[in-house]
Amino acid sequence: MNDELIKKHFGDEGGFSRVSNTLIRLYTLLDDFDVTTAGLYAYLRSWRNSNPESEMYNTVWLSREYMYEQSGLKRKAFNKRLNVLIKYGLVSVVKSKTVANKDYFIVHDPLERDEFLRRFPEVAERFIETAAEIDNKNKEYRQRKLAEEIEAARLEHAKKWSVQKEQSGVSKTDIP
């Protein structure tokens, strides 16, 4: 393969796309939004035009077929996740005015953490409640395991003490 084709389809070797923690840790708490949806967002973001002086800034103009093939998502899976991204304002689809049956995808930045929390407080509160339940369950489990370990150590100590008494010839009746 020549370098031009490699760069065209796979990007610059040193290129990268930044995806915020908000997208991964908060948007995934929204209905229908999971890490595979975040993955499609990251994929689209890797292709968006990053030249702020271009009229196509933040736009992906690849065909859906191309993106199905490269993303590994089939049409239904791709469209399902794309619809979630559209629902939450992360992607807009614009029909081309010049090319028939052509869509452009405008990839928007996710909300900042604090803005997300203001807009979706119930989502964060629900997760915090669930996280507290998980923490309590883990704490109870650790306490139960610690109690079991203490009891096992006590029994082991009693067993060793009993063996030592037998070996030394001390009987229960000899102990005052």
- CATH class for the region spanning 3-119: mainly alpha
**Ranges 2-16, 32-46, 91-105, 123-137: which has the least confidence:** 2-16
**Sign of the alpha-carbon dihedral angle for 48, 115, 120, 134:** positive
174 pLDDT above the threshold of 60: no
Band of pLDDT at residue 172, cut at 50, 70 and 90: low
How far apart CA 85 and CA 95 sit, in angstroms, is 17
For 96-125, write each residue's pLDDT tens digit: 888 888 899 999 999 999 999 999 999 999
Instruction: Give the relative orientation of helices 35-47 and 75-87 as an angle to the nearest 10 degrees.
Output: 90
Q: Quick one: 42 exposed, middle or buried, by C-beta within 10 A (0-12, 13-18, 19+)?
A: middle
How far apart CA 39 and CA 45 sit, in angstroms, is 10
110 vs 162 pLDDT, higher one: 110
Residue-level pLDDT at 13: 72
Q: Which residues contact 170 (CB under 8 A, 6 or more apart)?
A: none
Of 94, 84, 8, 93, nearest in space to 39 by CA: 84
The model scores a pTM over 0.85: no
Residue-level pLDDT at 4: 74
175 vs 138 pLDDT, higher one: 138
Name the percent of the chain in helix, strand, coil, to the closest 5: 60, 5, 30
All structural domains of the chain with their residue ranges: 3-119, 125-168
How far apart CA 131 and CA 152 sit, in angstroms, is 31
| Residue in the block written with tokens 């923490």 | 135
> How many CA within 13 A on the CB side of residue 23?
20
| Residue in the block written with tokens 């760069």 | 7
Kindly state the percentage of the chain with pLDDT values over 90.
55
